[in-house]
Amino acid sequence: MRRKDYRAVLQAASEVLGEAMHIVDANGMTIIYNEAMARLEKISVEDALGKPFRQVFSNIPEEESTLFQALKNRKEVRNKQQTYLNIYGKQVTTINTTVPVIVDGNVVAAMEIARDITDIKDMSDTILRLQDKGESPKEAPLQFTRYHFEDIIGEDPGFMQAVERAKKATSNTASVFIYGETGTGKELIAQSIHYGGKRHNRPFLAQNCAAIPESLLEGILFGTEKGGFTGAVDRAGLFEQANGGTLLLDEVSAMPYELQSKLLRVLQEKYIRRVGGKKDILVDVRIIATVNEDPRELISSGALRPDLYYRLNVIGITIPPLRERKRDIGVLAESFLKKYNEEYDKEIWMIADSALEKLENYDYPGNVRELENIIMSAVSMSDDGHVLTPHDISIPEPYREESSLVAGYSEEEGSLGEYLAQIEEKVIRQYLTSNGGNVSKTAGALGMVRQNLQHKLKKYDISIR
């Protein structure tokens, strides 16, 4: 096979795989540049293919160019953030993995795989900028809900024991670790601890660690210094912004393992250092961390560092799932009925006993949040009657696996890469549902590392509710 034929095969393979790919030869000439990369960098394939990459991407200094470093210094980088200008002056933010291709001791090429996070970067920058201005909910255009202990509804002994433990936590500033399935009310408990304690008039900031790409999370937490990475600016992170107050780290086990060790060091030393910075900054921040999976399983699977867990679990709180506190279903349903009566201007006076029985016979994989959604739907769709009946209560059908995933591939399904991606997304959604949204169990059932599954969830925009 001729050299140009090999290149044609590689180019076709890169299109099928669907990942944004850029390959240059030993002389820096672009030999592979697919449509996915062109869309990411907002240029055309013709702009780059067959041209010296330093000419096409002249806005990136050589010392910051991952492809240049791979070719000239054999430097391999993985999941590195870059913010740069394309040939049209458009700013792009990517996460790159770049490796040199070495044959018989010589670098013959360099390959880069990239993901576009421009929109996510813009969103995180906007959040940090607004928080850094110190806007309170009253000053901001939207009113943010602040939860207090009086907002917590329940009678179940196990649940009330967790609430009492949370109330005791208001008298000190020790770290708190909250475990509860998705939808059990972890943030409600966390906010109640903050606003019921001595720091109630200081900042309360929250960050879902699974919602932000790993390479951005460190900068969001600890801030950045200009020069720390391509496109970095001087900006305070959440630790500095929450100084004197409380920082809620939701799904802390989704934080990269290396970053967990940095968090542990901050908890021990009480200072942070911005990404790319050289100065230590003292911070006084109370940490409340949450997970929606059993901490023991997270530690066993390698998702959560045991030393970080023990450091955070000074005050441990476990919130029981709704299926274990059936006696609370009635009082919660009545509370939601009142709430959505007002919101939808309805006059539903009560829930029929038969409807309540229907509610109590359901297991609620989505917990209290799912019960609220069921009542919200019932109230919004009800006629002019004054009583919610079983007919008004819509309970989801139990999950059943489909008998067959693949009926046969045809060109109508799109490229092979697109078709395989559709199947992968479908399988992940099915297994996630059958495991009640438990990421660790789903990863185990699929034979995947948890962090890889987290990446797939973000790739296919699959949310955990």
Question: Which residue, among 176, 454, 367, 284, has the nearest Cα to 462 in the 3D structure?
Answer: 454
pTM: 0.65
Question: Based on the domain organization, do 87 and 188 belong to the same domain?
Answer: no
Residue 401 lies in a domain: no
Mean pLDDT across the chain, nearest whole number?
84
Question: Based on the domain organization, do 241 and 383 belong to the same domain?
Answer: no
Structure tokens at 190: 């966390």
Residue 303 lies in a domain: yes
Question: Based on the domain organization, do 303 and 204 belong to the same domain?
Answer: yes
* Residue range(s) defining the domain that contains residue 381: 326-388
Q: Where are the alpha helices (DSSP H) in 270-326?
A: 295-300, 306-312
C-alpha to C-alpha distance for 244 and 264, rounded to whole angstroms? 18
Residue 88 lies in a domain: yes
Residue 442 lies in a domain: yes
Q: Which of 265, 295, 320 is the last residue of a domain?
A: 320
φ and ψ at 386, to 5 degrees? -105, 5
Cβ(288)–Cβ(263) under 8 Å?
no
Say whether pLDDT at 363 is over 50: yes
CATH of the domain at 54: 3.30.450.20
Q: List residues bridging with 32 in a β-sheet.
A: 23
Question: Based on the domain organization, do 290 and 146 belong to the same domain?
Answer: yes
CATH of the domain at 127: 3.40.50.300
Tracing tokens 């901001």 back to the chain, one arrives at 140
Question: Based on the domain organization, do 218 and 295 belong to the same domain?
Answer: yes
Question: Based on the domain organization, do 142 and 232 belong to the same domain?
Answer: yes
C-alpha to C-alpha distance for 199 and 206, rounded to whole angstroms? 15
Question: Based on the domain organization, do 274 and 163 belong to the same domain?
Answer: yes
Q: Running DSSP on this structure, what letter comes out for residue 271?
A: E
Residue 11 lies in a domain: yes
Q: How many domains does the chain have?
A: 4
Which pLDDT does position 126 carry in this prediction? Answer: 62
pLDDT digit string (tens) for 351-361?
999 999 999 99
Question: Based on the domain organization, do 33 and 49 belong to the same domain?
Answer: yes
Q: Which residues contact 12 (CB under 8 A, 6 or more apart)?
A: none
Question: Based on the domain organization, do 101 and 184 belong to the same domain?
Answer: no
CATH of the domain at 353: 1.10.8.60
Question: Based on the domain organization, do 309 and 224 belong to the same domain?
Answer: yes
pLDDT digit string (tens) for 72-88?
999 998 877 777 777 77
Which pLDDT does position 26 carry in this prediction? Answer: 92
pLDDT digit string (tens) for 175-225?
999 999 999 999 999 999 999 999 999 999 999 998 877 777 888 899 988
Residue 464 lies in a domain: no
CATH of the domain at 429: 1.10.10
Residue 337 lies in a domain: yes
C-alpha to C-alpha distance for 147 and 187, rounded to whole angstroms? 8
- DSSP, collapsed to helix, strand or coil, labels residue 387 as strand
Structure tokens at 16: 């099928």
The amino acid at 51: K
Q: Which of 100, 115, 130 is the last residue of a domain?
A: 115
C-alpha to C-alpha distance for 147 and 160, rounded to whole angstroms? 17
Question: Based on the domain organization, do 316 and 369 belong to the same domain?
Answer: no
> Within 10 A of 225 (CB to CB), how many other CB atoms are there?
19
Residue 452 lies in a domain: yes
pLDDT digit string (tens) for 140-176?
444 467 899 999 999 999 999 999 999 999 999 999 9
Question: Based on the domain organization, do 98 and 205 belong to the same domain?
Answer: no
pLDDT digit string (tens) for 408-456?
555 555 666 677 778 888 888 888 887 778 887 787 778 776 767 877 8
